[in-house]
Amino acid sequence: MAKAISADDQIFDLRLARSAPDLFPMLEALYGARPDYAGFRDRLVRALRRGWADRPDDLKRLDLRRDLEPDWFQRPGMAGYVFYIDRFTGSLRGVLDKLDYLEDLGITYVHLMPCLKPRPGDSDGGYSVMDYRRINPAFGTMADFEAVSRALRDRGMSLCIDLVLNHTAKEHAWAKKAAKGDAAYQDYYLMFDTPDMPRLYEQTLVEVFPDTAPGNFTHYPAIGKWVWTTFNEHQWDLNWANPAVFLEIVEVMLFLANKGVDVLRLDAVAFMWKRMGTRCQSEPEVHMLLQALRACSRIASAAVLHLEEAIVAPAEMLPYLGRGRHDGREGNLAYHNSLMVQFWSALATRDVRLMTHVLGTHFPDRLTNATYATYIRCHDDIGWAVTDEDAAAVGVSGHGHRAFLSGFYEGTFPGTFAKGALFQVNQATGDKRISGSFASLAGLETAVDEAGRDLAVQRILLGHALIAAWSGIPLIYMGDELALTNDYGYLDDPDHAHDSRWIHRPRMDWALAEARQGADTPPARVFRGTKTILARRRATGALHAGHPLRVVSSGNPAVLAFQRVAPTGTVLGLFNFTEGWQSLPEAWARALGAGRLHDALSDAPVTPHHGQIALPPYARVWLT
């Protein structure tokens, strides 16, 4: 008599059948010519089945709920908060004590910055991982991590963590075995016996950190190898052409998913595949790998999303959200770097024409099974990703504009309100990258009177209202909701002094946070304003990420305009990027669908004057 198949096994088989067309054609294209492919495929299916069998029952129910509600992450109730654990509360257990604060702000998505066990000493901010299955002991234990994930889930909050795919720390167990001469583990990395091949690759590679980590290879005389190290000497690039690496990472993904992770932020994905004669970035095989990894999650942990970190130009970034053969099958989320860059560009120039051109020309009005992670500042530096072609389209010099933005936000350009810090300089092009907190770049640090402080507050709230109205999940980086300014204390820390990005990674000021309710200070005003923005976002159904977003010309170079087109009606986003009053024709707004002339952000009517809609300095309006 045949053994009855359990309900769990039936669900797994159904999910495997559903995702098989997304998985196996990719694997066959990548690894099918290898003699060990059949055995690899069987081992992968067994690993997926084990991952599903080990999945806790409450997470299996979450899988089912999100299968039935596949747009859950596109809904306007989603709002993210991102922080370094040690800078926020010091420990994972400390996070539990601050969930009321996050809930008060309106957060439903929490990104714990790198928390897996890093190498000792310099670990690139935690991105040099030596053990994917252990928590950084400075923050706590895996039991503490699971307690945080359960507490978040109980409050309807999703948990995001970083999973570095391009490299491991040289102290990782795989790398240690490779260094001892184990040929199987040497094939996990890209290792060469002579410098000949590295020199050939170097002819077309770019340097990611030319000031601190020049070149892309490191010679280790003790082991007689040249190792591919794109980012830092202590970060060894993985060899994704080896299917054993794919299988190892899938098992890691399922392990973390079963600990309660909702979103895997896949770090440095653009660099995963190497090809001679190219930059070794965003090669076609990268997208095959990412589609296959996504399919593995859908089979054994269907509740989990993939956020793909690729800070590149729009044409190169959009495929990470699935284009062409990968449409709807690759990443669920990717960072909208262009929105951030164009916000700062328009704020400095008081002119939205470049912003309108870039955002209206290079991005589709909607995505399939995916959306953006929108942000104004993050843990990293700002690179002025403005192409010469886009600059020329609005009559400016690309090189000149990038130089202007660097000077403006470093704080050296005459008349600037910003105060930032230089991060790195590309000596070949002269392009510079800038560090700085949201509040300091927006002018709060340099403000000398109440009027200046008020303008800085308005610029901050303009940014938060923009990312909340755009398609995607808005991300608030720790401290931006309290207008924390630059932290120059990093210069006194030998581990941080060489890296100006620590200027915008301050420690949380809990005294300011406690005073947020009744005070009339810039931090309190920014907190209350941000909280209101997120609350009004939740109440505005047209901001669902599945609804089209169409950038339109306002006819006024000071005002950005875009439509969110929903079956229930259009929301017309209007954003004044200047310190002065601006106006737009009432008839123009009505023609674009804002017939009620009601501001969904302030939840108040908008009264025209002599046929014109008046916009105060740094106004942000969600007109219905």
User: CA torsion sign, 58 to 59 to 62 to 64?
Assistant: negative
Relative orientation angle of helices 450-469 and 522-538, to the nearest 10 degrees: 20
Confidence of residue 424 (pLDDT cuts 50, 70, 90): confident
Distance of CA 497 to the CA centre of its chain: 25
Other beta carbons within 10 Å of 57: 8
CA gap 163, 61 in Å, rounded: 24
Among 174, 326, 291, smallest CA distance to 239 is for: 174
Question: Residue 132, Cα to own-chain centre: how many angstroms?
Answer: 20
* Average pLDDT of the segment spanning 182-194: 98
Enter the CATH code of domain 336-387+436-624: 3.20.20.80
Q: Find the largest Cα–Cα distance for the chain.
A: 85
Mean pLDDT for 230-254 is 97
CATH annotation of 173-237: 3.90.400.10
Instruction: Give the model's pLDDT for residue 209.
Output: 80
* Residue whose tokens read 């690899």: 40
Give per-residue pLDDT as tens, 49-66: 999 999 999 999 999 999
What integer pLDDT is reported at residue 273 of this predicted model?
A: 98
Give percent of the chain with pLDDT exceeding 90: 93
Residue 495, pLDDT score: 83
pTM (two decimals): 0.96
Q: What share of the chain is helix, strand, coil (3-state, %, to 5)?
A: 40, 20, 40
Cβ neighbours of 569 (radius 10 Å): 15
Q: Which helix (H) or strand (E) holds 236?
A: strand 235-237
Confidence class for position 3, pLDDT limits 50, 70, 90: confident
pLDDT at 2 over 80: no
Query: Residues 304-329: pLDDT tens digits?
Result: 999 999 888 888 999 999 999 999 99
Of 22, 63, 124, 267, which is the active-site residue? 267
Per-residue model confidence as pLDDT tens digits over 359-399: 999 999 999 999 999 999 999 999 999 999 999 999 999 99
| Residue 511 confidence (pLDDT) above 70 | yes
209 touches 271 (CB < 8 A):
no
Q: How do residues 63-97 score in pLDDT, each as one tens digit?
A: 999 999 999 999 999 999 999 999 999 999 999 99
Give the three-state DSSP class for 135: strand
**328/199 Cα distance (integer angstroms):** 38
How many C-alpha atoms does 519 have within 13 Å on its Cβ side?
14
Name the residue ranges covered by the structural domains of the chain. Answer: 1-164+244-309, 173-237, 336-387+436-624
Looking at every residue in the chain, the average pLDDT score rounds to: 96
- Residue with structure tokens 């976002």? 537
Q: How far apart are CA 348 and CA 360, in angstroms?
A: 20
pLDDT at residue 138 tops 90: yes
pLDDT of residue 1: 57
Q: Report pLDDT digits (tens) over 270-291.
A: 999 999 999 999 999 999 999 9
Contact 386, 593 (CB under 8 A): no
Q: Does the pLDDT at position 406 exceed 60?
A: yes
Query: Is residue 210 predicted with pLDDT exceeding 80?
Result: no
DSSP state for residue 215 in the 8-state scheme: S
Q: Which amino acid is at 45?
A: V
Top CATH class of 1-164+244-309 equals alpha beta
Please say if 267 is a catalytic residue.
yes
Rounded CA separation 86/92 (Å) = 8
Sequence-ordered strand ranges (E) for 113-244: 116-118, 129-135, 158-164, 167-169, 191-192, 217-220, 225-228, 235-237
- Highest averaged pLDDT of the listed ranges 311-325, 492-506, 527-541: 527-541
Burial of residue 452 (number of CB atoms within 10 Å: 0-12, 13-18, 19+): middle
Tokens (6 digits) for 350: 């008081």
* 1-164+244-309 and 173-237 share one fold: no
Residue type at 154 in one-letter notation: D
Lowest mean pLDDT among 172-181, 201-210, 276-285: 201-210
Residue type present at position 539: A
Catalytic residue among 124, 171, 308, 309: 309
